Amino acid sequence: MQEKKQIAILGSTGSIGTQALDVIQQHADLYEVYCLTANNRVELLAEQARRFHPAAVVIANEAHYEMLKDMLRDEPVKVYAGSDALCQIVQAGPVDMVLTAMVGFAGLPPTISAIQAGKKICLANKETLVVAGELICHLAKEYHCPILPVDSEHSAIFQSLVGEDDNEIEKILLTASGGPFRLKSEEEMQTVTKTDALRHPTWDMGAKITIDSATMMNKGFEVIEAKWLFGVSAEQIEVLVHPQSIVHSAVQFRDGSVKAQLGVPDMRMPIQYAFSFPNRLHLNSQRLDLFTKPLEFFKPDMNRFRCLALAFEALKQGGNMSCVMNAANEVVNRAFLDDRITFPQIATVIEQTMQRATFDAAPDYDVYLASDAEARRIAEELIIKNR
């Protein structure tokens, strides 16, 4: 009998984490949860632990440790807390693969820890490659660690490349829904609200990622990810606004052929493929009906979506600039959700932070940490100044 693969889920209470648990439940004969982690959502984490019976749970926010321990006092599960515990649990011997579904810079240290332990990485944390793509690629090669993309777009590119071996990529066609403001004018976007921005037309995601989608910074992150995952330059990546979210992305080869992956908007599909690659397992999901959906594609407006333009700029500058951009974005994203800045100020503060932060052309891990802290401080100062 085949042994079940043991999975550690970093960020089990978020959108990706909860859908991953659904995949595991559908294939309980193949997969088992070894560890679940969350930042603040104690009640849901405890509920998941009682349902999936992991060996361990970790609550990143240590203030919730006693509450979580008390809620699981009748369960045979080890309870840990803090960022160090996250880095340690992913290195546990029984763990076969780690789904990195945490949001933000906080996902970087445990991902590095898992790579150093040689674990298979199912990567859903965009910021890991945005912040430290060069370092992550170097470590993955050094520790012979496979990294499989979970983002629907990068999974689509990965699937389009399966069987192509060394065939040269001419261009990556990265699709974007366009978010809730695709049809709004620059004037209309001056007054959009948090409520408007959180109404994504296609995907059901957490608040942070939904705001990033509204600004198209999320797509900018994916451009940077694609560079590191597939070894292409910024000039080889083209963003296509595709409102239906059916073509998840495509690859154009040197002979002009284009291969794409299509499917309904369901994140369980790329999650499951990362778990099961190279095998395809049955998934209880809606099937694609091409008779009922038009397929439309448009060029993104870089003036209206300045965050996307800033991401291309950060990628071209290289060094620590993507790290600076990400840190500033995390600050302004939170500030917008807290009604401290307007929607147009998001891009303005990010751009000004990129101009003021210390540039380092050859960063190491310590530089990334310092750059992240400096950029957050600058962005916060700019927000206060502009109020």
Give pLDDT tens digits for 292-332: 878 999 999 999 899 999 999 999 999 999 999 999 999 99
What is the total count of domains within the chain?
3
Do both 270 and 285 map to the same domain? yes
pTM (predicted TM-score): 0.92
| In a shared domain, residues 94 and 174 | no
* Residue 368 shares a structural domain with residue 303: no
Q: Which residues contact 43 (CB under 8 A, 6 or more apart)?
A: 71
Secondary structure letter of residue 4 according to DSSP:
P
Tell which residue, 135, 114, 138, 134, has the closest CA to residue 124.
Answer: 114
Instruction: Look at residue 375 and give its three-state secondary structure.
Output: helix
Last residue within a domain, chosen from 315, 347, 370: 315
Residue 234 has what DSSP assignment? G
Contact yes or no for 172/236 (Cβ under 8 A): yes
Residue 87 pLDDT grade (very low, low, confident, very high; cuts 50, 70, 90): very high
105 Rama sector, left if φ>0, alpha if ψ -120 to 50, beta otherwise: alpha
pLDDT for residue 201 is more than 70 = no
Q: Domain span at residue 191?
A: 151-315
Token pair 């239906």 in the structure block, residue: 244
154, pLDDT greater than 70: yes
| DSSP code at position 3 | P
